[in-house]
Amino acid sequence: RRLTPRECERLQGFPDDFSLVDWPNARCPKDEEEMTAYLVASGWPKELAHKLAMTPDGHRYKALGNSMAVPVMRWLGIQIRKALS
């Protein structure tokens, strides 16, 4: 199966739903009501949850694919600091 955006975020060291942003004028094929209910149950305010439910997963995958893994970048920074010391 394909990894979910949340699983991709966890693998790259980001917090859950890090890439879940409001995309203006985006059309989302997933069930808006079900996703809104899930987000409200997760603690999101209802208005924001509805906007976020409209976020297409494709945008989230693209954002995650264009990012750098946090643990790797942290390791690189430590190695550079050691080399310069």
Tokens 């439910």 found at: 53
Q: Which pTM was predicted?
A: 0.62
Q: pLDDT per residue over 3-51, tens digit each?
A: 988 899 999 999 988 887 766 666 665 677 887 888 888 888 888 787 7
Written as one string, the DSSP assignment of 9-64 is HHHTTPPTTTT----TT----S-HHHHHHHHHHTT--HHHHHHHHT--HHHHHHHH
Tokens for 28? Answer: 């989302």
Tell me how crowded residue 34 is: count the other CB atoms within 10 A of its CB: 10
